[in-house]
Every structure is written in structure tokens, then in C-alpha cells.
Amino acid sequence: MPDDEFESRILSFERAWQQHGPTEIADYLQPPCGSTSTERRRLLVELIAVDLEFRWRNGSRDPGSSQGATLEGYAARFPELGSLGQWPLELIGEEYRVRRRWGDRPTHADFLARFPAHRERIQAELVRVDRELEEESSAPRLSSLPAGRVSSSETWTDPALDGPLLSHHDILLRRMLGAGRMGKVYEAWQHSAGRAVAVKFLRKTFLDQPRVVQRFLGEARTIAQMRHPNIVGLHGLGRAPGGAYFLVMELVDGPNLALRSRSRLIAVQEAIPWAIAMCRALEHAHARGIIHCDLKPANLLLDGDGRIRVTDFGLARSLREDTPWTAEIEGTVPFMAPEQASSCWGPIDQRTDVYGIGAVLYTLLTGRPPWVGRRLPDILADVISAAPVISPASLRPDLPRPLSDLCRRCLSKSPAERYPTVREVRSALTDLIGEHECVERPG
């Protein structure tokens, strides 16, 4: 399942709970879900964790139970997860957490009696949750943030971020803006600066995975190098009780282009200026040796002034550090450049983002990504094959032919056949504005 589909389902489930109350998990597992049982299981575990939180916090009973939600009730409804002894440890800890916080405060003995298998592991998990809840209680302003697994007494500074870690006491969470496989984003208030901000942090399940944590910290260092009106800026890096890192970023009050393009086809008069603004942001990043590597409509936001803001540098790569190609495929497959999926197409460089620009523009103009299919492996096979993308003009005949050709050149499978730099893409787009008076020049 593509990451944006995974994120969309979790966010839609949470919003439905917030707006309408108890929500049926099964409705969010319907096709087109993941192509494998592993993907469906991963989604189901996340949805159950969200459902547990809402039910105990709101006092909603689990269907078929006279008490609050417990894992036994979910096991009866979703036998695919197996017997309770096979359930993920994180869900056992999550039920204990929400009941201690919002419900009937069960004891360790209660849980060990229900889950006699793996007693030592479960006991350790319950002790860890107790420690996190105790630490959270000492920081009520950030009590909605899940705590981590590292001591919060550590003092840490990073020269690249120009100062020490931000205090968790300075942040007041207001509402959740989005959720995905890696973490959640909240609208919050930063007391010291007197401003609304966005707070992004890792899910607690990743806090014991050093590689994932280092990537999260790397995103902070990457954004800290950039100051541009078309890039969502970083205010700082912070740490919650228990050690969970979080990013404090500019709050952009507007939709992303994925949401905007789902409601209607985007007019040429809008798409070209948006693409030019995206190019300007990427020129700034490339000048600092940073390649975004995950350009897609969901990572392009419209602020209150209608200005494009590029966000989510979580997969960015540094050319100056000579980052080697990795065998792990990273990116969103329908928008991914061939060299991100197979080294036979060459190294990742500026032309990778040129492909990304083409993929975003293609989607805005046609209403679909460059590569589509029922199964992720099929889409990936199309991405790395030599077959060219279908012409945008064949999907939308009213498109100007030069714009369609520009889009196809950006999406050339061979990097050598693309525009060599983002600056040249911007120049070509600007020339199209001159040829079509109906297109307004971006400010």
C-alpha cells in the first residue's frame, strides 16, 4: 500500500471518530487495501491503537461488551490477528496505557493473568508504560505526546540546528493535523514565541530503532540549512518526556495539492505557477546539496496567501556527503524516479527531483500519477522498465502540446534525457507563460 494511502486511511478514521463518535474499523480495511496480508495487518494494528485511545478517553463501550474496549473484543472481530498470545506487544501495552490514563487503572497482575505467555516481555512492557505515564504527568502541557524510551535528563545540542533542544514545556498541543506510518503532526502553540506551530514526532514504536531515529534527526538538520519562502521552515528540535524527539515547524494553514487535485482537474493557469514555485524551492535546496527524493502532491502545501510550500524532507539525500545508493527502496512508488528503485539507472542527483517535478505536474494535469496499477509490484515494474510514460495530452487533449512535452521530458526514464537542472525546468515553464497569456506569472 502506498504511504499516502496508509496515511489517508488512518487520518480519515481519526477524523471520523472526532466528528461522529464510534467508527467501524472494518470500513477502513476495504479494498483497495494493501496487496498483502502484512500490509493489512499493519494497518489494522494502527487502527486498533487509535480506536482504543478514543473509546477509553470518550467512555465509549466496545460493541458486544458491557465494559470498555479490550483486546478480547477486537480478537473476536478480527480473527486474522490470531490468538491473543500472538498479538503485537505494542497493542497489549497500548490497552494498558489508555486504561491507566482514561479508564479503570488495571494492575500488572490483571494483565499477566490475561496474557500468561511471554510473561517477562509483557511485564517489561508494563513497567516501561508506567514509567512513561509518570514522566508525562510531570509535563501536562505536552501530555498528549507519547513518551519514548530514552532518559529525558540528557542535555543535547546540535550546531547545525543553532542551539539547544526546545523545551517540551513550551509546547501546548491543540489538535492533530495528520497521521502516517512514521508519526503524527499536531497543530500546537509555542508559548515563548507566541505563535501557532506544527509539531511532528515519531511514533513510539520507532524510538528503539536507531536508524529511524537518526533519519528523523537528519530531517531536522536538513531543513535547518534552508530558508526560503517556498519551503516549510523549521523552528527547532525538541524532546518530550522519556526521550521522544519532535520537530517544531512553521504551521501552513491550507490544503496540500493531493487534496486539491482530488476534487477537480487543475487548470493550466494554476499548475504552471505552482510548478515554478516548486522549482524555486528545489533550486534553493540543490544549491545546498540537498535532493528532496519524495516529491508528490501531498508534500506541497498551499498557505493562506495561495503560495506553494514544499515540506517533508524525511527522505532527502545530501550530495555533499556522497550518500551511497542503498538497496532499500525509499519513496512513494507512483512518483518515484527509476534510479530510486534500481541502481542500473544511475545515481540519485538533481535530475531525480526533475523527475519528481514532472510526476507532480503530470498528476495535477491528468488527475492520476504517471504510473498506476492494482498492485504495488506492478507499478514498481513499470517505474524501472524502459517503457515511456503515457503522454499527458493523450489523457487530457486540451493540454498545450509544449506543456505535455515538457512534462514527458522531465519523466524520461534515462536521467540524461531529462532537463539537467531544476533551473532549466523553471526557465522552460516561464517560457510557456509567455506563450500563453492566460497563465498568470507567479509573484
At a CB cut-off of 8 Å and minimum separation 6, what does 8 contact? none
DSSP type of residue 256: B
Q: Supply angle C-alpha 426, 303, 282, rounded to 5.
A: 30
User: CA of 276: how far to CAs of 272, 368, 377, 406, in Å?
Assistant: 6, 20, 32, 13
As a whole number of angstroms, the distance between CA 60 and CA 50 comes to 13
Q: For residue 233, give the C-alpha cell.
A: 521552515
Whether 349 is catalytic is no
- HEC sequence for 110-144: HHHHHCCCCHHHHHHHHHHHHHHHHHHHCCHHHCC
Q: For residue 229, give the C-alpha cell.
A: 519562502
Residues in the chain: 443
Q: For residue 142, give the C-alpha cell.
A: 505536552
* Catalytic option among 4, 51, 294, 312: 294
Query: Strand pairing partners for 7?
Result: none
**Residue numbers annotated as active site:** 294
